[in-house]
Amino acid sequence: MNSQSASTAGRQIVWPSVITVISAAILIGAEVFGAAFAGGWALAILFGLDDTGAHVMQAVLFALGVFVMISFIRAAQRIEPFIRRA
């Protein structure tokens, strides 16, 4: 048996944890990216920006949303491990 199969032989995916985290990420992602879109639009109006400025503001908030989602997934993996060692 090679080292690759020996290291993965004692690991098992914990599907309920994976499904829970993915489901929560979908729900939270919809809220985060919806808020990024609406917030960019609202801030552009507040600051008197044109359509291009609104799109830039939305892109910046969208990138911030991606960072938030990556942080959420990493934190969720610490609480709900995806892999169980046998």
**pLDDT tens, position by position, 26-43:** 999 999 999 999 999 999
In three-state secondary structure terms, 11 is strand
Is 70 exceeded by the pLDDT of residue 78?
Answer: yes
The pTM for the full model equals: 0.75
For residue 1, name the pLDDT band (cuts at 50, 70, 90): low
Q: How far is CA 26 from the centre of its chain?
A: 8
Query: What's residue 39's pLDDT?
Result: 95
Phi, psi of 84 (to 5 degrees): -110, 130
Tokens at residue 41, please? Answer: 């639009």
Which position has the higher pLDDT, 38 or 1? 38
Listed by start position, the domains of the chain span: 29-86
Query: What's residue 7's pLDDT?
Result: 60
